[in-house]
């Protein structure tokens, strides 16, 4: 059984005005600036999560190059249907032996 995490990054971020995953993030551990998506994936990997899936949707082509190599990408073409649709896509991308999902 493997541990897994799903990061939902498929929404339009209409109130924010730009993808939240691309927001600048100052890492408290090393003080280096990065992007929110980098920080999320790095922290999950450091916590020992075996399989990390980032679900993209809106502007997936723009975000994909920023997803760190420790994570896999799943694309939700129906992202306008809401978070539950992205969660389904992320869960479907996990291996059959995935145990706890964060």
| Contact between 37 and 85 (Cβ < 8 Å) | no
Q: Among residues 10, 90, 92, 89, which one has the least CA distance to residue 52?
A: 90
pLDDT band at 3 (very low <50, low <70, confident <90, very high): very high
Higher pLDDT, 3 or 27: 3
| Contact between 41 and 68 (Cβ < 8 Å) | yes
The full set of domains in the chain, from first to last, is 2-101 (3.90.550.10)
Output the pTM of the full model. 0.89
Question: Which pLDDT belongs to residue 28?
Answer: 64
Interval 5-62: pLDDT, tens:
999 999 988 787 788 888 888 766 677 778 899 999 999 999 999 999 999 999 999 9
| Contact between 78 and 85 (Cβ < 8 Å) | yes
Per DSSP, helices labelled H in the chain are: 36-46, 60-63, 83-92
């Amino acid at each position: 059984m493997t541990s897994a995490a799903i990061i939902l990054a498929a929404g339009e971020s209409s109130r924010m005005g730009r993808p939240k995953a691309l927001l600048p993030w100052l890492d408290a551990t090393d003080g280096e600036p990065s992007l929110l998506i980098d920080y999320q994936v790095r922290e999950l990997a450091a916590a020992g999560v075996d399989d990390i899936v980032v679900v993209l949707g809106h502007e997936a082509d723009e975000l994909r190059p920023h997803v760190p190599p420790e994570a896999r990408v799943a694309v939700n073409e129906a992202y306008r249907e809401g978070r539950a649709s992205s969660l389904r896509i992320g869960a479907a991308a996990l291996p059959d032996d995935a145990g706890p999902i964060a």
